[in-house]
Structure 1
Amino acid sequence: MKISPLQKARYEYSPKLPGMLRNGISEICVKEGEETQSVADQEAIKALFPNTYGKKEITFERGENTSAPKKQVVGVILSGGQAPGGHNVICGLYDALKATNPDNELFGFKNGPSGLIDDDYLVFDDKYIDEYRNTGGFDIIGSGRTKLETQEQFAIAADVCKKHGITAIVIIGGDDSNTNAAVLAEYFAANNTGVQVIGCPKTIDGDLKNEDIEISFGFDTATKTYSEVIGNIERDANSAKKYWHFIKVMGRSASHVALECALETQPNICLISEEVAAKKMSLSQIADYIADSVEKRAAKGMNFGVAIIPEGVVEFVPEFSALIAEINELLAGAKADAFNALPTWAEKYEFIKNGLTKESFEVFDILPQGIQQQLFLERDPHGNVQVSLIESEKLFSALVADKLAQRKAAGTYTGKFNPLHHFFGYEGRCAFPSNFDADYCYSLGYNAFMLIQYGYTGYLSKISNLSNPASEWVAGGMPITKMMNIERRHGEDKPVIKKALVELDGKPFKFFEANRDQWAEETCYVYPGAIQYYGPAEVCDLTTRTLALEQE
């Protein structure tokens, strides 16, 4: 197989481990902390997890290893969307497992949680693992979005583990995947299967974090990848001086990616969904906010700019959320068939006009026709609008164009507005992991095995103190139930890991807020350039601006 020089060099990179994990397996001991409770709904979560709730947080330290020696057969699953560094979690897990006992085995269940249910797996060896060290993607075993949530699934999983003598399962995923890990751990414990379950925090969206989980893996690499290209676009905009670039980035439920990219590149505009919701901003207000920047820059002869748009921002606009709710009701049941049977858009438009409230139709009517049609053509399996598919970057540029046309007619605006559109999403999910993510993920995997070796279950692998050099990182674990609350999902109360939204009183947003007015009017672009893997540590091992500001 032909490989690039960079890929060959990355195979040979040795990830850095936290100091206490470098001492050798025999010199790692456990320090237990306080008992924990869930972030909310304590009684309800405790009732659902009687065997795994309230466990103590733990930290690994230098000292005599007191774990009971036994052969470990571990299964690993990649769950959900890809994130840079996933391969290194598996490599770290494999290396720790083999360093403890060469007879230990690591099973990789293929294509996500369904691999465990279908008993579809491979057994890792050195040759196979070595081809994936420090590389991006999830192609080492594939991923999937199957949820482990029914008693039937749990029973099958227990049988598969028993068949292979598996002693532990490691699930690498985001908030939903680690919720599944906690539920599976509870089932295994309640049924005395002897199988442990450990989770690892993954998502490029950055919304799996709290006081214990400082950052989810993949966020560093993905945002650096997007920021490189945004910086390139800024440079091009400042060179051509004739285009406004509207750039949508991933982040449906939270705006961490958009905020981090803004901190890295200092664009003219960056919308933060959480602020839109807090201020109850309308589409018109958002369009005016962007148009103000366009007008002020045009007055200085700068008919160009860059605006970053989080993919889920429209869901945070109260009037748009109300519109979506009405559309979902409008097309419920047989009414959807009646709507779809109408032969022309004009007839469908009248159907919509007659079916919506006056307020929601006024919102609908200001949307570009292409966006209007997207709301009715793209449905999820439950018949609801797939908001994440809305081209919000095109929506806002069209609304801004309308605002500028009004201002031009009123004589207050004389500039030119030529918008271009981009969506950066999949480009960042499988990039070569940055040194930070390569090190962090390897440590998460190595640490996950130490949790297994010491008998913990229902825990998340935890590496902290991450804004400092890797030698000062702290390894340990926290019960997954600590992060949980009860939320309404599909008409039922469900235990889920609470998503972390951008905190409007947090240091990263406050820094952005203090500088954005200047960025909106002046050209203050920063060009981060490509991720650097070899060279000075201050260049190659940089953490995100978000994490650096949070831990100042």
Structure 2
Amino acid sequence: MKKIAVLTSGGDAPGMNAAVRAVVRMALHNGLEVMGVKRGYAGLISGELFKMDRSSVSDIIHRGGTILRTARCEEFRTEEGRKKAANILKAYGVDALVVIGGDGSFTGAKLLSKLGVKTIGLPGTIDNDLAYTDYTIGFDTALNTVVDAINKLRDTSTSHERVSVIEVMGRHCGDLALYAGIAGGAEAIVVPEKEFDRDELCKTILEGKTTGKMHNLVMLAEGVGGAEELAKYIEEVTGLETRATILGHIQRGGSPSVFDVVLSSKMGARAVELLLEGKTSRVVGIKDNQIMDEDIDEALAMERKFDDKLYEIATALSY
């Protein structure tokens, strides 16, 4: 093992830069050369590789987004595209590749490994939707961003005695809505993993009004449906002024939290250690507060389990 490369792929997540920094400096500390790949798999196929040193990652630990950039790549979905990517790595003398991203990025790393490329994956996604790890890089920061927005919306919601429907990211995973809903004191949390009755929600809101409740916050994961549609329905049924707020990509930005910086640093360092140990086709995660690694095939095949107990607690505490 003499030279490794690192790339970020998929949606950006706070903490990706800290992970890149950890990979680069841990590799240099162990006498390895490091190449950065710009724009994910698209950049890999087009040969956008450059040498990285310690100064390449100076003053990025606190920055959101990714200095390596990220992009979609349809060509990489083809076998021909992946073979081209593998040949590019070979041409640059790269012995292994560290991929920071979500399940789609991991699938790409898995397919590259089938072509003989040594790969290690780091979970970079705000959705927290990878089953093998308790937390993903960027999830904690996104939560803090959402809760900050909730606190601001609560002020105006209370002033106008209205219902606020807040839509957060999470197409197939409701963790952002669940955790932020609890931390923000939401009266209702709507997630893809649980059945949802709009009329029951309206009934609950009306019952709250009779007890003197001045406002309501409803957390909605984007995978369930549109916030605008739900807000319109609530207003029609209850007669209460209802507004929808879609937080969108603001959830991806901002400086990473201390938790995400430390998590990224640990995971990045472990990725290099695994390569030095001669291991490949692994993904790094955290379980029971311990950094661990898992076979990439097994990790991708795992079924994600929703935290039903936490959802029950959220429901019990909402009214």
TM-score after normalising by structure 1: 0.55
Cα 1:513/1:421, change in 2 over 3 Å: closer
1:207 aligns with 129
Query: After the TM superposition, which segments of 4 or more aligned residues of structure 1 sit over 6 Å from their partners?
Result: none
The question of whether the paired residues in 1 share the 8 Å contact of 2:25 and 2:54 is answered with no
Give 3-state SS (helix, strand or coil) of 1:460's partner: strand
In structure 2, the partner of 1:508 is 310
Match of 1:158 in 2: 86
**Which letter does structure 1 place at the counterpart of 2:200?**
Y
Is 1:130–2:49 an aligned residue pair?
no
Q: Which residue of 1 aligns with 2:49?
A: 121
Establish whether residue 441 from structure 1 lines up as the match of residue 264 from structure 2.
yes
Matches within 5 A, 1:12-411: 70=1, 72-101=2-31, 104-138=32-66, 140-146=67-73, 148-188=76-116, 195-210=117-132, 213-238=133-158, 240-276=159-195, 281=196, 285-286=197-198, 288-314=199-225, 392-404=226-238
Q: Residue 315 of structure 2 aligns to which amino acid in structure 1?
A: E
What is the distance in 1 between the residues matched to 2:307 and 2:107? Answer: 23
Aligned 8 A contact 2:120 2:284 in 1: yes
CA displacement 1:389-408 (0-9 Å, x = unmatched): xxx11101111222235xxx
- After the TM superposition, which residues 400-479 of structure 1 pair with which residues of structure 2 at under 5 Å, given as runs? 400-404=234-238, 417-466=240-289, 474-479=290-295
CA distance in 2, matches of 1:94, 1:461: 16
Measure the CA separation in 2 of the matches of 1:433 and 1:445: 15
| Contact residue 175 and residue 499 of structure 1 kept, 8 A | no
CA-CA distance at 1:256 after TM superposition: 0.8
How much has 1:260 moved relative to structure 2? 0.6
Could you tell me whether the CA contact under 8 Å between 2:188 and 2:315 is conserved in 1? no
Shift of 1:266: 1.5
Distance of 2:273 and 2:224 partners within structure 1: 40
Q: In the aligned structure 2, how far is the partner of 1:224 from the partner of 1:77?
A: 26
Instruction: Tell whether the 8 Å contact from 1:74 to 1:169 is kept in structure 2 after alignment.
Output: yes
SS of the residue corresponding to residue 443 of structure 1 reads helix
> Match of 2:194, SS?
helix
Q: CA deviation at 1:293?
A: 2.8
Structure 2 residue aligned with 1:44: none
Query: C-alpha displacement at 1:462, in angstroms?
Result: 3.0
Question: Which of these two proteins has the greater Rg computed from alpha carbons?
Answer: 1
Please tell me the residue identity of whatever aligns with 2:229: L
Tell me, yes or no, if the aligned pair for 2:103 and 2:300 is still in contact at 8 Å: no
Contact 1:85–1:438 (CA under 8 A) maintained in structure 2: yes
SS in 2 for 1:171: strand
Note the C-alpha offset of 1:235: 3.3
Distance 1:144 1:501, change over 3 A: farther
**Letter paired with 2:141:** T
User: Which residue number corresponds to residue 411 of structure 1?
Assistant: none
Unaligned residue ranges in structure 1 (runs of 5+): 1-69, 189-194, 315-391, 406-416, 467-473, 486-497, 519-552
User: Which whole-Å CA distance do the structure 2 matches of 1:306 and 1:477 have between them?
Assistant: 38
Contact 2:283/2:299 (<8 A) preserved? no
Q: Cα deviations across residues 42-85 of structure 1 (Å, max 9, x unaligned)? A: xxxxxxxxxxxxxxxxxxxxxxxxxxxx5x21111111001110
Q: Secondary structure at the match of 1:273?
A: coil
Correspondence 1:498-537 to 2 at 5 A: 498=302, 500=304, 502-504=306-308, 507-516=309-318, 518=319
- Partner Cα separation in structure 2 for residue 475 and residue 258 of structure 1: 25
TM-score by length of 2: 0.93
Rounded Cα–Cα distance in structure 2 between residues aligned with 1:396 and 1:500: 27
Structure 1 residue 109: Cα displacement: 1.1
Decide which of 458, 463, 481 is 2:297's aligned counterpart: 481
Q: Which amino acid aligns with 1:145?
A: R
- Residue by residue over 1:213-237, the C-alpha shift from the partner in whole angstroms, topping out at 9 and shown as x without a partner, is 1111111110111011102222333
Give the drift of 1:499: 5.7
Question: Shift in Å at residue 511 of structure 1?
Answer: 1.6
Amino acid at match of 2:123: P
SS at match of 2:137: coil
3-state SS of 1:198 partner: strand
Count of aligned positions: 318
Q: Which amino acid aligns with 2:147?
A: S
